[in-house]
Amino acid sequence: MSVNGVIFQYFEWYLEDNGTLWKRLKDDASHLKEIGITSVWIPPCFKATGTNDTGYGVYDVYDLGEFDQKGSIRTKYGTKEELHQAINALHEKGLNIYADVVLNHKAGADGTDKFIAIEVDPNDRKTPVSDPYEIEGWVRFDFNARNNKYSDFKWRWEHFNGTDFDNISGKKAIFRIIGENKNWSEDVSLEFGNYDYLMFANVDYMHPNVQKEVLKWISWFVKETHVDGLRFDAVKHINSHFMKMLLTHLHNEFGNTFYAVGEYWESNKLAIDSYLRTINYQMDMFDVVLHYNFYKASLEGKNFDMRKIFDDTLVKQHPSLSVTFVNNHDSQIGQSLESNVKRWFMPLAYGLILLRADGFPCIFYGDYYGLTIKESMSPIRDEIYKLLHIRQNNAYGNQIDYFDDKNLIGWVRLGNEEHPNGCAIVMTNGNPGIKKMNVGQMHHGEIWVDKMRNIENPVLIDEQGNGIFKVMGGSISVYSHQLI
């Protein structure tokens, strides 16, 4: 991560199915660089069940928009050539690209196999609710249009350990596939007794041929796309020992600077701690607890104690491994994990991730550019733009917290040799207020102004380096030296 680096998540769930995202990203490279973005997280770029699929219903990971499969050559976002052009444009501006990788399951099978399976209780996947019997599942992946290019591996029933549909009876259920050395992985989330199974045909990472093929693919994918890192989807459902093997493989082949971040959607910090230990701390994690703290604060208003905003968070426990975020595609309206932070609190939340010393902040496309669904809240592009500018120019050096009031909190960044101006941040989820903070004696006599332009009156820094900083109700202000 570069100094004061920022990730931009360049997609949202409901983007139109018009194949233009890669073109748009290419054209946006200069703007992203200019506003202070250092890395771009792109959506799953391989062929899914159709062009209307956001990419998480993954079909063929070797098809990046090159073969006529699932009704089109392009993916939802464009063709392979357009993907390469976007990546090249970002690299020319010095930006890193992190690709979204979906390893947990496969969808849109080409055909069926018959095999023995057992139904399990969806609320306790370790508990059978039937005797073993033969079912017919959609688990054959032949990729005929690709015709063995890049890989001749064909997926069959033995490469999976679960599915959700019996083609013979038409029954929908969670089926655990029975076979030699075949069971749910034990190295997954313990939710629902065992959370190996999430959806579609569930990949069996205890199968040696599966391990070999996926390691082969990940090497191919990184070399083919020239991405600088990967975002791993749904890692709580994937065998953690295989993930450790995969991460070791990546770092051995591409170096320790190759970036990795995992999505483990869990609000229990003990589960995250355990997972990080298992994978030997080889990748960052999204700070889901912090997101839920933001969501709760946005719902409760002045009843939320702002002094507790970082309680139980990853950024507090493992600051160097935390990717902090406000909203993302999973928290959007209509999603199973819907938890969209309310608009009034979003500028405060972005201040809390962009202007602090710890964490690798991630900006959500929808919060900056807006969402496709018309009834969704309007974006806060102007506020994010200002906060990014402050992060680039002022948010450096030692951090002094003033978390001494239930509603009105603040902190100071003292600056460093290269960026000496520093900044003072004050925010409240209640009434307007003031907070006295010390920005350092070296700033005495300076006039500081609110870079967010919410407060008009300037602040004079006294001989001891103190300033009296004002903030409007339910708002954030960020003060720094008024340069002539």
Active site residues: 233, 263
Do 198 and 103 touch, CB atoms closer than 8 A?
A: no
Q: How many CB atoms lie within 10 A of CB 418?
A: 8
Structure tokens at 344: 């009034």
Report the distance separating Cα 383 and Cα 391, nearest Å.
12
Pairing of β 133-140 and β 160-166 = unpaired
